[in-house]
Amino acid sequence: MAKGYRGGMPSTGGGKSMNMMKQAQKMQQELMRMQEEMEAKTFTAASGGGMVKATVNGKHELTELAIDPEAVDPEDVEMLQDMVIAAVNEAMRTADAESAASMSKLTGGMNLGGLL
């Protein structure tokens, strides 16, 4: 036997690995909770001075579209289409921004590059 050998298994730092696993599981649970909360939220944006309002949910689904009758001009359908697109896109950007802010709080600002 080698001099100084005391027997037993060598230490592999298993305690640190277990702690990291627990932290990862906790973060994953928190992420799932946050995703559920985001999916339940709605985000509304308007365009054309409020003549068109679009509401999306956290799943990026358009859930409501309100168009003021004054915005409907048969001679200028293109303008109405542009207002609808602008309102929907702004509502989506708002949802994305809130999601990113929530994710940043969870990860402490770390960029995990698609791991979560």
**Stretch 13-25: mean pLDDT, rounded?**
81
Tens of pLDDT, residue by residue over 60-86, are 999 999 999 999 999 999 999 999 999
Residue range 33-62, pLDDT digits in tens? 888 888 899 999 999 999 999 999 999 999
User: How far is residue 25 from each of residues 36, 66, 109, measured CA to CA in Å?
Assistant: 17, 42, 18
* Stated pTM of the model: 0.68
70: DSSP letter:
G
CA 23, CA 35: separation in Å to the nearest integer? 18
pLDDT score for 101: 87
